[in-house]
């Protein structure tokens, strides 16, 4: 390679004005094409279907530019419309053409137009993300033609708000960041042993009692020696009212994000049992858990428990209009079933399968689809269940081979609670593991073992943010970013368009955007 070629390559990859993440399917810069400069008074013209997307664009650019761009039905330098001839780009695809005269966005469905707007924001200078007016910036957008659509339908990010409660305002910021990266599923882990975070009107003690724990274990102690455990002595808790939930769901919907609520059962349920001891196997009053791990307290496998949880799901379905309801199913310690309820080890897996099967039938009857962690395969998979494969990829492979949809969530590539470096002494304490960003980036969601027909069951992939060691939003941002940027490219961009070195170069510019958005991302070594 000649020096001139290398210089040219460097200029291309460092062209920060085209630092779009995730990388579009087709992007051509018009040679000598100049740029469109956004000025006060530019009109955004939309059809009825994309009117809200037009308003979203106007809202996005208003703070930094100081321009309140009008949204109208006709005319205008910025044109946004749906176009039935673009069905080939799918429900989330778009075509974006920028010339010095204007911006044209066309898509089959409004979601595609929304993603075109996200791309447009990234073609503007990073200052466009400021929340106050920035003077002296030319709001210029390079002349380009882009055709773009996602590789996967499920492009998710998860957030555990049970181990540490995260305020509603942060949840909304998280959803904004998902939308910025063209992610479309927010998996909200709302219940666990350490806290119940969603108001259920029929069972008020779930939050009155279950949303609070007396204290929290300090650090990462030796599990085998409880005499050395330290607790902080400070109560921790919080929950979302049903009005809060509706607000978050509407916020997500406006950003084309479907919220997938998770209500854990039959394990990871100690907070619920603390609130209603009759849900447990011992009948005795227990406390919301104050440490981490797999709790021995599991729901009692009886019809009354099924009815109780179906009542909960009835309220959950009324709050979350999306198709998917996650019922957990992971790490259910069956010891109490064996010791206290006389269940044989052979029937324990079948009993968990019965429990999840009752929920599957109930959700299916209400037009919804059950999602569960890969343990729901044990003892037989419920007929309509979608599997999240977290203990590696075997569960996902087995489910897809059995004609079930799967979402790939393997700890090896998608667990953002793991350390990002081996030099852990210089990091805030984390649960363990090692997941550098290039490993995230290299992830291929479709396992080799699947035939093309089975591969179609892989809906996509998702990043996990478990919060045992994540006390607050700033630490969550530190763990999630920029690894989620890499995962966004895994699920959006075709594998032949993925290149880690090129991603790293674009990430330099992208991190400026995240900094302006007050995202506490983890910087480079
Ligand atoms: C396992 S992943 C769990 C979570 C923990 C996580 C920590 C899964 C389905 N269950 O309860 O928070 O490990 O990495």
pLDDT at site 346: 86
Mean pLDDT of the chain: 96
Q: Give me the active site residues, please.
A: 192, 268, 331
How does pLDDT run across 80-119, given as a tens digit for each residue? 999 999 999 999 999 999 999 999 999 999 999 999 999 9
| Gap between the Cα atoms of 307 and 296, Å rounded | 22
For ligand 1, atom 2, name the residue with the nearest CA: 390
Cβ–ligand 1 distance for 390 under 6 Å, the answer: yes
Domain residue extents for the chain = 26-148, 154-516
pLDDT(16) > 80:
no
Q: Which atom of ligand 1 is nearest to the CA of 331?
A: 10
Instruction: Tokens for 174, please give them.
Output: 């998280």
Query: Which one of 391, 393, 466 would you pick to mutate in the ligand 1 pocket, going by the greatest count of ligand atoms within 8 A of its CB?
Result: 466
Atom 8 of ligand 1 has which residue's CA nearest to it?
A: 330
Q: Which two tokens stand for residue 2?
A: 């000649």
Burial of 286 (0-12, 13-18, 19+ CB in 10 A): middle
Nearest residue to 502 (alpha-carbon basis) of 1, 2, 9: 9
Ligand 1 atom showing the smallest separation from residue 433 Cα? 14
Verify whether ligand 1 is closer than 6 Å to residue 419 (CB atom): no
Residue 3 has pLDDT above 80, yes or no: no
26-29/144-148 β-pairing: antiparallel
For residue 416 and ligand 1, the question of a CB distance below 6 A is answered with: no
User: Residue 193: CB within 6 Å of ligand 1?
Assistant: no
- Give the orientation angle of helix 3-13 with respect to helix 500-516, to 10 degrees: 40
Q: What is the mean pLDDT of residues 199-217?
A: 99
All residues at 6 or more sequence positions from 114 whose CB lies less than 8 Å from its CB, including other chains: 53, 56, 179, 255, 256
CA distance linking residue 334 with residue 116, whole number of Å: 49
Please report, rounded to a whole number, the percentage of residues in the chain having pLDDT higher than 90: 95
- Cα separation, 419 vs 415, in Å, equals 9
Residue 2 has pLDDT above 50, yes or no: no
Q: pLDDT for 121-138, tens place per residue?
A: 999 999 999 999 999 999
Q: Is the pLDDT of residue 5 over 80?
A: no
Classify strands 78-82 and 71-72 as parallel, antiparallel or unpaired.
Answer: unpaired
Please report the atom of ligand 1 found closest to the CA of residue 466: 12
> What distance in Å separates the CA atoms of residue 22 and residue 441, rounded to the nearest whole number?
11
* Burial of 74 per CB tally in 10 Å (0-12, 13-18, 19+): exposed
CATH topology agreement for domains 26-148 and 154-516: no
List, in sequence order, every residue forming a beta bridge with 94; answer none if it has no partner.
148
Closest Cα partner for 431 from 317, 258, 292, 277? Answer: 292
Under a CB-based contact definition with an 8 Å cutoff, are residues 414 and 464 in contact? Answer: yes
Architecture of domain 154-516: Alpha-Beta Barrel (3.20)
Q: Which of 160, 194, 329, 330 to mutate to test the pocket of ligand 1 (most atoms within 8 A of CB)?
A: 330
pLDDT tens digits, one per residue of 358-400: 999 999 999 999 999 999 999 999 999 999 999 999 999 999 9
Domain 26-148 CATH class label? alpha beta
Distance between Cα 466 and ligand 1 center (Å): 7
Closest of 298, 293, 297, 296 to residue 469, by C-alpha: 293
The Cβ of residue 443 has, within 10 Å, a number of other Cβ atoms equal to 17
Structure tokens at 168: 């509603």
pTM of the model: 0.96
164 compared with 524, residue with greater pLDDT = 164
Instruction: Please indicate whether residue 466, judged by its CB atom, sits closer than 6 Å to ligand 1.
Output: yes
pLDDT at 500 (0 to 100): 98
DSSP for 193-209, written as a single string:
TTEE-B--TT-THHHHT
Whether residue 489 has pLDDT greater than 80:
yes
């Amino acid at each position: 390679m000649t020096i001139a070629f290398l210089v040219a390559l460097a200029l291309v990859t460092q062209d920060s004005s085209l630092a779009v993440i995730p990388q579009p399917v087709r992007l051509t810069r018009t040679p000598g094409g100049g740029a469109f400069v956004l000025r006060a008074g530019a009109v955004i013209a939309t059809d009825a279907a994309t009117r809200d997307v037009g308003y979203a664009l106007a809202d996005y650019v208003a703070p930094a530019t100081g321009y309140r761009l009008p949204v109208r039905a006709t005319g205008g330098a910025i044109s946004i419309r749906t176009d039935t001839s673009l069905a080939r780009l799918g429900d989330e695809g778009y075509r974006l053409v920028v010339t010095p005269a204007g911006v044209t966005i066309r898509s089959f469905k409004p979601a595609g137009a929304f993603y075109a707007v996200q791309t447009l924001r990234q073609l503007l200078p990073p200052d466009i993300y400021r929340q106050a007016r920035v003077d002296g910036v030319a709001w210029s957008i390079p002349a380009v033609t882009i055709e773009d659509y996602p590789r996967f339908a499920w492009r998710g990010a998860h957030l555990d708000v049970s181990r540490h409660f995260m305020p509603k305002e942060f949840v909304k910021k998280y959803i904004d960041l998902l939308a910025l990266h063209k992610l479309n599923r927010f998996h909200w882990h709302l219940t666990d042993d350490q806290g119940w975070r969603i108001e259920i009107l029929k069972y008020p003690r779930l939050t009155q009692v279950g949303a609070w724990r007396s204290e929290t274990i300090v650090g990462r102690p030796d599990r085998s020696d409880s005499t050395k455990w330290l607790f902080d002595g400070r109560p921790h808790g919080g929950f979302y009212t049903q009005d809060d939930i509706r607000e978050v769901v509407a916020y997500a919907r406006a950003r084309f994000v479907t919220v997938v609520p998770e209500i854990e059962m039959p394990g990871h349920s100690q907070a619920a049992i603390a609130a209603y001891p009759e849900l447990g196997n011992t009948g005795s009053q227990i406390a919301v858990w104050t440490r981490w791990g797999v709790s021995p307290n599991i729901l009692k496998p009886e019809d009354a428990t099924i009815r109780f949880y179906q009542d909960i799901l009835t309220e959950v379905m009324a709050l979350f209009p999306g198709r998917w309801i996650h019922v957990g199913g992971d790490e259910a310690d069956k010891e109490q079933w064996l010791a206290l309820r006389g269940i044989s080890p052979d029937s324990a897996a079948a009993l968990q399968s019965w429990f999840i099967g009752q929920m599957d039938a109930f959700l299916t009857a209400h037009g919804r689809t059950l999602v569960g962690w890969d343990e729901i395969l044990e003892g037989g998979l419920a007929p309509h269940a979608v599997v999240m494969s977290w203990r590696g990829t075997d569960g996902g492979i087995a489910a897809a081979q059995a004609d079930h949809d799967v979402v790939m969530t393997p700890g090896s590539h998608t667990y953002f609670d793991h350390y990002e470096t081996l030099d852990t002494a210089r990091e805030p304490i984390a649960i363990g593991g090692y997941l550098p960003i290039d490993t995230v980036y290299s992830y291929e969601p479709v396992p080799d073992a699947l035939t093309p027909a089975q591969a179609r069951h892989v809906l996509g992939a998702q990043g996990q943010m478990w919060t045992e060691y994540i006390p607050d939003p700033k630490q969550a941002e530190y763990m999630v970013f920029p690894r989620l940027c890499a995962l966004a490219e895994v699920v959006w961009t075709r594998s032949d368009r993925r290149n880690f070195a090129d991603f790293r170069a674009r990430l330099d510019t992208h991190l400026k955007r995240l900094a302006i958005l007050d995202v506490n991302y983890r910087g480079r070594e």
